[in-house]
Structure 1
Amino acid sequence: MKAFAAGMVVVALGGLGGCASPTVLEGKYSEADGWRKGTVVEIGPAKSLKRPAFYDCRTEASGTEGNDQYVMIALLSHGHSHARAAKLPADSQLQVGDKVYVNFKDCSAPIPKRSS
């Protein structure tokens, strides 16, 4: 009986430790650093994106970037639905519907596709 109780304590502590450890996506995108899973929902010039963005990098765009392409990414942050508007990298092959990683803390971060 004591062995069973000791085993349950070890399992419970292991479960608590797992919840306290930082989540790292694909071994390199830490949620603590602002990375989240997202889905591309719009692509177009900054002013043409319709969905409101909670995390919006368009405010950093200058007037000379009127034709630059931006991407709107839907994401969950702490269980709440948000969107991130970010400048689409020139060499990007992203399309609407692509699953990506997005960093809501850093407007200059890349927007890599997810493997799953």
Structure 2
Amino acid sequence: MKTIMVATTVVALVALGGCAGPTVLEGKYSEADGWRKGTVVEIGPAKSLKRPSFYDCRAEASDKERNAPYVMIAFRRNGHPYARAAKLHADSQLQVGDKVYVNFRDCNAPIPKRGSSTSDGEEFN
């Protein structure tokens, strides 16, 4: 009986330990580093984006960059909706509705599209 309880405890601890590890998206975007799944909801000049952004890289933009293209990405953090405004790189092919990865901690991080196998039914309004 004691052996069964010890074995059950060990299995439970191993199972819980696996859940406590950091989530890594597509093997390279760690949630511990600020990466989240997001959706492009708006693209346009920095000064024309209408959606409010809790994580806003436009504050770092100089006056001459106010007309540069920016992207607004909706994502969830701890189950709550947020948005990130970030500068759109010149070679970017992003369009409204694209599923992407966004790093809410780093304004200079790339905004890669998510792989087609990562659809998860997220909806952002």
- Distance in 2 between residues matched to 1:100 and 1:11, nearest whole Å: 36
Residue of structure 2 in register with 1:88 after alignment: 88
Residue of structure 2 in register with 1:99 after alignment: 99
Give RMSD over aligned pairs.
1.3
Aligned residues: 116
Residue of structure 2 in register with 1:13 after alignment: 13
Normalising by structure 1, we get a TM-score of 0.92
Amino acid corresponding to residue 11 of structure 2 in structure 1: V
Superposition pairs for residues 53-64 of structure 1, below 5 Å?
53-64=53-64
- Distance in 2 between residues matched to 1:42 and 1:80, nearest whole Å: 19
The answer as to 2:30 corresponding to 1:30 is yes
8 Å CA contact retained: 2:47, 2:67 = no
Shift of 1:91: 0.3
2:73 partner SS: strand
- Distance in 2 between residues matched to 1:7 and 1:43, nearest whole Å: 55
8 Å CA contact retained: 2:101, 2:112 = yes
- Distance in 2 between residues matched to 1:50 and 1:8, nearest whole Å: 54
- Per-residue deviation, residues 48-84 of structure 1 (Å, max 9, x unmatched): 1111000000001111113211000001111111000
Shift of 1:114: 0.5
Normalising by structure 2, we get a TM-score of 0.86
- Per-residue deviation, residues 18-68 of structure 1 (Å, max 9, x unmatched): 122111111111111111110000000011111100000000111111321
More displaced, 8-17 or 106-115?
8-17
Amino acid corresponding to residue 86 of structure 2 in structure 1: A
- Distance in 1 between residues matched to 2:37 and 2:48, nearest whole Å: 24
- Distance in 2 between residues matched to 1:35 and 1:10, nearest whole Å: 32
- Distance in 1 between residues matched to 2:97 and 2:2, nearest whole Å: 53
Amino acid corresponding to residue 73 of structure 1 in structure 2: I
- Distance in 2 between residues matched to 1:4 and 1:98, nearest whole Å: 50
